[in-house]
Structure formats: structure tokens, C-alpha cells
Amino acid sequence: MSKIEISSDKKLMNSIKSKKTKTNNNLSIYITLGLFAVLFLSMIVYLIVFNCTNSRSFLSNSYNKRETVLMKQNLRGTIYSNDGDILAYSVQNDDGTQTRIYPYGSLFAHCIGYSTKGKTGVEQLQNYYLINTCDSLTTRADNASNKVLNNSYNVTTTLDVELQKIADEYLGNYNGAVIFTEVKTGRILAMVSHPTYDPNNIDAMWDLLTVDSESSVLLNRVTQGQYPPGSTFKIVSALEYYRENGNGYKKYDYVCNGYYTYGDYRINCFHQTQHGDVDFDLSFAKSCNSSFANIGMSLERKLFSETLTSLLFNSPLPCEYEYNQSRLIIDEETTDYDMMQLSIGQGKTSLSPYHLNLITMAIANDGLLCTPYIVDNIKDASGVIVEDYSANTYGMLITEDEAKFLQGLMEEVVLNGTATRLQNDIYTAAGKTGSAEYNDLGDSHAWFTGYAPAENPEVAVTIIIEAGGTGGEKAVPLAKLMFDSYFERY
């Protein structure tokens, strides 16, 4: 047989074979292959995506013990202030363990947090970077042979040591909260909550701190505190009046005798001061309760409720910290008396200083709210930035027109109203005071929320001093100290 014949024989046999076997049988094998390929491909994609999206948050979960392993290899990273002061760092002990040190003691307790008894604050927000090493392969090998811990990433915050100190010293033994933010970026420059604790001693004091629920030292009052807003809420009532009446507010007129009555109900002005004949601007500037009770009675419950929602009441807030939602429900069930009460910020309303600061930031920035943030960037050990956080806008809380209207009212407060202590030659300011009564004796929490400069706002501050007295006397001076310090340096 010649070679050609063999090969043709083979071909013939093969073709017979293939006709016999390659019926639909092998087709279903190919389909099976395709099905499983799709199945596994989607599983692999899921695996990768799942990993990338969850690895950071899972690491900080208290049920995840892997951090103890990383702590044996890497030295926890350093946390810096906005101009490079060290707010937290770690040192390696002789036995290979590490100790966390907070050079400013209690000053940054609530914003930086702690890292040994669970995690809070920046220690929690940036835990992933703070415990993962940025060292190269060869450095890690050297470190292992020298029994030295690897370097982790370092975190630079937006916090300003001076402002923080001023707020902390001023609060002194008072309980209260202060937040100071940049309105055009959302950078948080200061965040103070009193009473405070020294995070250097967190382990030793832990049992004491957690048992003592009365003073709730661990609570970050800026975001978790819930206070009656007092007269600062007149910002919201005024906005609602403007939304319902537009420029009609210019025609508003009221004669104040120091109190307002409706049926059996009576609302007093603070210390029963008689404000006399007031227009809308003056009602706001002098913080006239009687006039605002009168205004409150004219407001539509349904529309008011919508305004509250637009200002993020009863809603989630853009906030990196643990926080409580502010509460105020207005509906058809709300009685006339309740309407009077809530228009002046008393009654069942509760809100956090952080939330009031958000509203103030939006007013100052012509309605646009920039999401507050506290971490500026992440650097590796050699100082190269690996992650840079920049300003994010949350959206328009109010329209530009409404913002201008409220800005006008708040400027009047400083020029002719309850915050005249803010007047000075260097910069202009605007804001609203509050004195929220918390018992029947007339004792009050001192509030101030405001911004500066009035004509081109840069920074906003919100202050509450518990049992501090009136906002004008107790809270406004702190605002001035902080504005002074800011405008001296920036």
C-alpha cells in the first residue's frame, strides 16, 4: 500500500467516526463547558470585587482577630494635625509589643479616638492604613532580621491644634461641644467634646469610663449629643416663613409685650423682655420668642415637615463619625401649642451640634453643602501621598436665594442683635444665638452657630455650652476667640 492510500483510508475512517460520534452528543459537551466557564468566571469576578470592596471594613470588625497578627509585624502609623504636629504615634517596646501615645492627652480624644478597646474616631476611620505596612520587600526582610516592626502608613488630618486648644480651654469644666469647619471644602478644623478623657489611659480607665454612664465621657457630643436647639431653630422657622411668604416677610410687623398667648397657652420672651414694635429682621436679630410664636402659628404643617426633611431632620447625615439623627416630627396631629413651642426651638425637638453646623455651612456657602471630612491624606513612610481626600459636595440644602435671605438675617444678629460681641475691625461675622431652657427654673444651654467673614464666608462654627447661660454672653465670646485665631493665621 502506498502512503497516500493509507492517509486517505484514515481520512475516510475518521469521517465515518466523526459522523457517528459528533452528533448532538458532543454539542452538549461544549454547552456544558460553556455553562461552567460562565459560572466560574462570574465566581472569580465576585471573589475579586468582594475582596476589594470589603477588605478594609472587615479588618476593623471586632470579631476579626487578624489585627493582632498585623500588630506583631507593623508599627501603627502616626496621625498628624494639619500643620504636621503629631497627634498620635506608636513606639515599639522591648518585648516586641507596641504602645500608643497621644502627646496632647485628652485634647483630641473624641476626634482621634482610641485603638486598643475597639476603635473610634480617626483610629477607626483609617485603621486599614494605620496597621498595614508600606515598607518594601527588602526593608521588611531587614526589619524581620533586626526584630524591628515595619512602618505603616501615616495619616494627616485637617485638625488645627490652636483652634482645638482655644475651644478646649474655654469649655473648661463645662460640658459641651464645639465644631469648626471650612464651608467651601468641608474640612473640619476643630471638634471638641466635653467632658473628655485621656486616651493614653484608656486601658486602665476603661471599666470606670464604661460604668459611668451618667456623664458619658466617651460620647462624642458633637455628633451624638442631642440638644433642644433653642433660638438657633429660628433659622429653620424663618426659612419656612420665607418659603411660604417670599418677600412678603418684609411687610411682617408685630408688637411684643414680652409674651404671646393663644387660648390658655403662653410663650414668654427670654426673661420676659419687651421687644416692642419689631419687623421680621428684628424679630430674628433680637430673638423675640413672642414674635416667632406668632410666626409659628401661621405656618403650614405639611410644608414645614417638607422643609425639615430638606434640612435632613429625621434623616441620615453625611457624617464619618458615629452620630445620632436629629428628631422633629410635624404632622396634622401636631397641636397649636406644639407649633408655638417648636417654632422657638423648645419642646420635643432635638438636634446635634454637628447637624446645626451642616445647616450653617450650607447657608454660608450659598446653599451648597460640602461634606465635612477630617482626614486630609495618607502618606507612606517616605512622605509620598498614596491617597488624597479632597472636598466633596453633598448637594444644595437650600436655594441660593434662601441662603442670601438667611445670611441677611444672621448678619443683623451681629450688627443689631444678640451677637454684637462679635463686632470687630478685622473681619465681619454672622450667626444666631440660642439659650435653650432645659428646666423650669429658666436655666439654659448656651448656643451659637455662625460663620465669617459675612460677605465671603470661609469658616463656620457651632458651639453649645451646657448650662452655660445665654448664647450671647457665653457662646459668642468663644466664637470670637476662634475666629480671631483663624483670621490671624490664615
Partner 1 sequence: MQYLFIESSKYILSVILIIYAVAGMSIFAVKNTAFKTAMAVIQNSVNILFVIICSMHMFLLSDNAMYLAVMIFVLTSIFIYLFVTQTIFPECNIYLLNNFSMLTSCGFMIISRISINKSFKQFVITTISFGISIGLIFLFSKISFLKKLTWSYAAIGLMLLSAVLVLGKFTHGSKLSISLGPISIQPSEFVKIIFIFFLASILWNEINAKKIILSALIAALYVGVLVLSKDLGSALIYFIIYLFVLVLATGNYLYMLLGLLLGSGASVVAFKIFSHVRVRVEIWQDPWPFIDNKGYQIIQSLFSITSGGFWGTGLLKGTPTTIPFAETDFIFSVICEEMGIIFAIAILLISISTFIEMLRVSSKINDSFYKQIVFGVAISLLFQAFVTVGGGIKFIPLTGVTLPLISYGGSSIMSSTFMYFVVQAIYIRLRKEDKKAKSNSK
> What residues make contact with partner 1 under the rule CB under 8 A?
9, 13, 17, 20-21, 23-29, 31-33, 36-37, 39-40, 43-44, 46-48, 50-51, 54-55, 58-59, 61, 63-66, 68-69, 73, 137-138, 140-142, 144-145
Q: How far is the CB of 88 from partner 1 (least distance, A)?
A: 24
Give the pairing type, strands 154-157 and 79-80: parallel
Q: How far is the CB of 9 from partner 1 (least distance, A)?
A: 7
Q: How far is the CB of 65 from partner 1 (least distance, A)?
A: 6
Contact yes or no for 352/224 (Cβ under 8 A): yes
Closer residue to partner 1 in complex, CB, 142/387: 142
Q: Where are the alpha helices (DSSP H) in 22-160?
A: 24-59, 66-73, 109-112, 121-125, 127-131, 137-146
Contact yes or no for 374/111 (Cβ under 8 A): yes
Q: How far is the CB of 63 from partner 1 (least distance, A)?
A: 6
Closer residue to partner 1 in complex, CB, 128/259: 128
CA distance 484 to 461: 12
Strand ranges in 350-429 using DSSP code E only, listed in sequence order: 368-370, 375-379, 385-388, 393-396
Closer residue to partner 1 in complex, CB, 75/344: 75
> Which residues contact residue 296 at a Cβ distance below 8 angstroms, ignoring those fewer than 6 apart?
237, 339, 340, 342, 343, 344
| Integer CA distances (angstroms), 288 to 170, 262, 274, 344, 409, in order | 28, 16, 9, 9, 13
Q: Which residues pair with 99 in a beta bridge?
A: 91
Q: How far is the CB of 40 from partner 1 (least distance, A)?
A: 6
Closer residue to partner 1 in complex, CB, 145/247: 145
Tell me, what amino acid is at 337?
A: Y
> Which residues contact residue 376 at a Cβ distance below 8 angstroms, ignoring those fewer than 6 apart?
82, 156, 157, 158, 187, 388, 389
Closer residue to partner 1 in complex, CB, 31/255: 31
Q: How far is the CB of 142 from partner 1 (least distance, A)?
A: 7
Contact yes or no for 88/102 (Cβ under 8 A): yes
Q: How far is the CB of 36 from partner 1 (least distance, A)?
A: 6
Closer residue to partner 1 in complex, CB, 148/329: 148
Q: How far is the CB of 33 from partner 1 (least distance, A)?
A: 6
Closer residue to partner 1 in complex, CB, 68/335: 68
Closer residue to partner 1 in complex, CB, 40/490: 40
C-alpha cell at position 185: 471644602
State the Rg of the chain over Cα.
31
